Each structure stands twice: as C-alpha cells, then as structure tokens.
Amino acid sequence: MLNRLWVRNFRNLSEQIIDFKPGVTVIVGDNNQGKTNLLEAVYCSAAGRPIQGERFSDLVNYHADSGVFAMEIGITNGGRIRIYRDFDRAGVKRPVLDGKGLSQKDISGHIDVVYWSAEIIRSFQESADYRRDLLDEICKKSNLAYEKLIRSYARVLSQRNAALKSGSAVLVELYTPTLIELSLKITDLRRSVLSEVFDTVNHYVPLLPLDGVGELEPILAIKRIDSNKYIKSMADVLMECSAKEYALGYTTVGAHRDDFDVLVGNRSVIQFFSRGVCRVLAVLINLSALELWGGGEL
Amino acid sequence: MLNPISPLVEQLVKLPGVGQKSAQRLAFFILSMPVKDVEQFSTVIRDVRNRVTYCQQCFNLTLEPLCAICSNPKRDAFRLCVVADPKDIFSIERTLEFDGIYHVLGGLISPLDGVTPESIRISELIYRLRSGDFKEVVLAVNPTIEGEATVLYLASILKTFSVRLTKLAYGLPIGGDLEYADELTLQRAVAARITIE
C-alpha cells in the first residue's frame, strides 16, 4: 500500500508531502485546490505515465521546468520501498530505488493503481476509441502476451496502410494474411476477457439498486465480419472493400475497429439506459477486471 | 569560443546508439589515446571503408571480387541461404551448422520505409537460381512483420523453381523456461513441434 507521497511541481501542486494511513483515504477541499491533481499524481508516480489523454508537457507546473514524484510503498513482507522519479515536459525519467535504476515491472509488482474519475462514463458515451482503450487496459492485465500482440498488429496495420497508399496490390497482399491472423487472435482474446469480466459484473448487479437492469450480456461488435468464420469472412470483406481502401489509403476492417456494447434483454445499455446506470456499469467493469487480475477483492 | 572537441563529438554522434554524452566520453577517451594509436585507428577506418566492397555473387562484404565463402570450393554450392544483411551471415556462420552459400537481399520489404521488392536484391536472386543448380533455398530472415512479408513474397516468387524451399524454425531459446516464454513464441513452438525419432 501507499504510505507516503511526495510531489513537486505537478500542475498546481508546488510541493506536497502526504502520509497515508491504512484503510480508505478521503481527500476533501474547496474547488481548484488540487484534489484531482493529487489523485493524478498518485497514478503518474506509480504508473510512470500520465492518465489517458494527458501529456507530460501539460503536467509540469507553469512556473517550473521539471518536477519530482516520490513514493514509499509498504510491501507484503512488512518492509517498504521508496521510489523516486524526475519528470519534465518531455516525459518521466526511469524510476530509481535507493539510487539504482528500476524497470516499471519492478514497481507494478508492488502497487496496482487504477485511475477513475467522472470521465469514466466516456467509455459508454463517446467514440468507440474509449471502449477499445478500456478493453485494451483490461486485456493487458489478463494476458501478458496481449501488449505484444497489439504492437505487432499496429505494425502490420501501418505497413498495410503504407502499401495501400503506394497503390501496390502485391505489397498489400503481403501484409493481409498477418493482419487477419493477428486480428482474429486479438478479437478472440477480447471476447473471452469480456465474457469473464461480465461473469463477475453479473454477480454484483443484483446487489445494486438499478431499476430495470437484469442479466447483462456483453456483445463484441466486430465490424462487418462474421465471427463464426472469422478468417474467411475478413478476407472476403477486405476483398469487397478493396477499391475503397485504395482510395482512402487505410484499412477499414480488423481488430482496430472492434467495439463492444452491453445488452439487457435486447436493449443496448448505451442507447436505452441513463447516464447513472452507464456510469455504475463502467465502474463495475473496471472493478471486476481489478478483482479478476489486479489481485484485489470488491 | 568553440569547444575544441565538439567537431569530434559531432562526428561520433552519427554512429548508431551513440548519444551526446557517450560521444563526449568517447571523444575524451580518444584524446587520452597515444597519437600512434589514434592514427592507426583513423587509417583503418578509411582503409576498410575504401577497400570493402560487395561480393559480385552473393553481396556479402569482401575485399576481393568474390567473398571468402563464395570462393571456398569446400562450400556446398547447391544450398543457398537468403539473408537480409551481411551481418546475418556472421551470425549463421558462427553456428557452424550451414555449409552452403549465401545471398544478401540488402533489406526487407517495408512499404513504411519505402522498401519494395524492386529495391532489394530479389531479381539478382532469381538470376542466380536460374543460372545455378540449387537443391535448397533457406530463407533466414528475422521473424518480424517485415521478415514474414518478405518470406511470403519470396515463397510466391520461388515456387516456380524446383528447389526445396525452407525457412528457419521458430521456437524456444535453449536453456529457457516454458513458464517465462512469451506466448507468441510458445504458440509458434507448439505449432512447429517435431517428432522424436
């Protein structure tokens, strides 16, 4: 657990040292005093990266060029470790423990941090990008190979898009089989992870006073591809879209266009239920993933 | 005032993997070397750069028209190993497992970097296959996205030749641990498992 946090020049926090007690910590303060910034600082110092959509160039205090995160974490054997890292507008430096460089993996084993704010509802409101990001975050937790899979997919996609822009059918065809193979792997993994998450979500739904929400069923919407015959179907759709893809210069189907929806009966939660229900659902999905792969209990 | 070592630092940062700080450290080291050693160092750089050319047959690095491998009569001239770069020949030669000859493509197909089948030495490979009597062609390129695409392209081109076409196996590192193997590698290793004789 987090024992102590020291943060300097992070947004409006010029310098803060906070000692945390065991149990839940509630931070209370007037508007514009830096409550959210403090939460973000905890996330950044543990995860080594800004929260989604933010950049380090915006996180350094206006009057400074660089800052510091440091944290003391209590570890399971009763000991504690201290992690220190500098950051500037370009990014965050490697974490250091007692003067020795650490990798992010060394830290992740000791502290698991998830950042939620009112924006969590974005995953059920705005573009599919937010839902894909949410899926990616969860899949990364559940499967160590997922990140590598996503990186390989992004590389094939870039190569195929470059080939489409060059107009060479021979080159496009070279990258199509790998695109389909990786797309299938990613989609399969996403589907099984979603189904596991919703088994847990459904376990908690009856405990909450949510009007009209019964059994929830996640649906992974695979754009224009028949999921039962994925390889054949994706190859057919790519063939069908060929002229359009050459004109646009990018690939229009594949795992990068996956999306998901949640159904109650036959009704989409996103379309038919209130913002409140969507927000509760977003929290439940995140909590369930944490319970399944983050080592905690709800 | 101009820093007296900055011209040297400017040259050293051009080397791969050398940043400003490393370049400065190397520059100070060069200054501490005896003049004789520095002269020998610079002469060797110039000489190697001027004298090393590509082998006329396989495009490996060589000082003669033909490289040491192509001109060695003991090599099996019926087996050809296709690699992306001359440095890959050094890696394969260290294994002492392959006694055939090589063909260096000079890159891998990558539309992102503007590398097409026409810009690497595929036509030279086809010419060699037509004019030689090869029994086997081994495709020994990196198992990357670009490597796979190049293998796919070569496989489609070379299927018209009556040669045994092989590629390097994917698998587990010797002394590795199944528990720590990355899943993609493990998946390939399971798919390409071999029968125990």
What pLDDT is attached to residue A298? 43
What pLDDT is attached to residue B1? 61
For the full predicted model, state whether its pTM sits above 0.90: no
B137 pLDDT tier (thresholds 50, 70, 90): very high
Look at the domain B6-43 and name its fold: Helicase, Ruva Protein; domain 3 (1.10.8)
Shortest CA distance from A146: residue in chain B: B183
Considering only the top CATH level, what class is B73-195?
alpha beta
Our CA-based measurement puts residue B110 at a distance from the nearest CA of chain A, in whole angstroms, of 7
Which range is least confidently modeled, A89-98, B19-28, B129-138? Answer: A89-98
Contacts of B109 in chain A (CB under 8 A): 171, 174
Q: Is B110 on the interface with A (CB under 8 A)?
A: yes
What pLDDT is attached to residue B187? 82
Domain ranges of chain A: 2-108, 120-293
Please judge whether B184 and A163 are an interchain contact, meaning their C-beta atoms are less than 8 angstroms apart.
no
The residues with which A165 forms a beta bridge, in sequence order, are none
Contacts of A152 in chain B (CB under 8 A): 145, 184
**CATH of span A2-108:** 3.40.50.300
Please judge whether B148 and A144 are an interchain contact, meaning their C-beta atoms are less than 8 angstroms apart.
no
Over residues B117-136, mean pLDDT: 92
Across A141-145, B101-105, B175-179, the highest mean pLDDT is recorded for: B101-105
Nearest CB neighbour to B145, from listed A143, A156, A171: A156
What pLDDT is attached to residue A297? 43
Our CA-based measurement puts residue A158 at a distance from the nearest CA of chain B, in whole angstroms, of 7
- The domains spanning A2-108 and A120-293 adopt the same CATH topology: no
Please judge whether A178 and B149 are an interchain contact, meaning their C-beta atoms are less than 8 angstroms apart.
yes
Q: What is the rounded distance in angstroms from the CA atom of residue B150 to the CA atom of residue B116? A: 10
Please judge whether B184 and A166 are an interchain contact, meaning their C-beta atoms are less than 8 angstroms apart.
no
Over residues B179-192, mean pLDDT: 82
Q: What is the rounded distance in angstroms from the CA atom of residue A289 to the CA atom of residue A171? A: 40
| CA neighbor of A281 nearest in space, from A184, A224, A213, A191 | A213
Contacts of B182 in chain A (CB under 8 A): 144-145, 148
| CA neighbor of A284 nearest in space, from A220, A213, A190, A188 | A213
Residue B37, pLDDT above cutoff 70: yes
What pLDDT is attached to residue A108? 67
Our CA-based measurement puts residue A175 at a distance from the nearest CA of chain B, in whole angstroms, of 6
Tens-digit pLDDT profile for residues B74-84: 999 999 999 99
Chain-wide mean pLDDT for chain B?
Answer: 92
What is the interface size between A and B, counted as CB pairs within 8 Å?
Answer: 47
Tens-digit pLDDT profile for residues A77-125: 777 888 888 888 777 776 777 667 777 767 766 777 777 777 777 777 7
- The interface predicted TM-score of the complex, written ipTM, equals 0.77
Q: Is B152 on the interface with A (CB under 8 A)?
A: yes
Q: Is B155 on the interface with A (CB under 8 A)?
A: no
Nearest CB neighbour to A145, from listed B149, B152, B182: B182
**CATH of span A120-293:** 1.20.1050.90
What pLDDT is attached to residue B152? 93
Tens-digit pLDDT profile for residues B57-75: 999 999 999 999 999 999 9
Contacts from B69-77 at CB under 8 Å and sequence distance 24+?
Answer: B69/B93, B69/B101, B69/B102, B70/B101, B74/B99, B75/B99, B75/B100, B75/B101, B76/B100, B76/B101, B77/B101, B77/B132
Domain limits, CATH 3.40.1360.10, in chain B: 73-195
Over residues B142-147, mean pLDDT: 92
Over residues B29-53, mean pLDDT: 94
Please judge whether B112 and A159 are an interchain contact, meaning their C-beta atoms are less than 8 angstroms apart.
yes
pLDDT profile of chain A (298 residues), mean per 10: 89 89 88 87 83 79 86 80 82 70 70 76 78 87 86 95 94 93 92 90 82 76 81 92 92 91 82 82 86 64
Taking each continuous run of H as one helix and of E as one strand, the counts in chain A are: 10, 10
3-state DSSP of A257-283: HCEEEEEECCEEHHHHCCHHHHHHHHH
**Burial zone of A27 (CB within 10 Å; 0-12 exposed, 13-18 middle, 19+ buried):** exposed
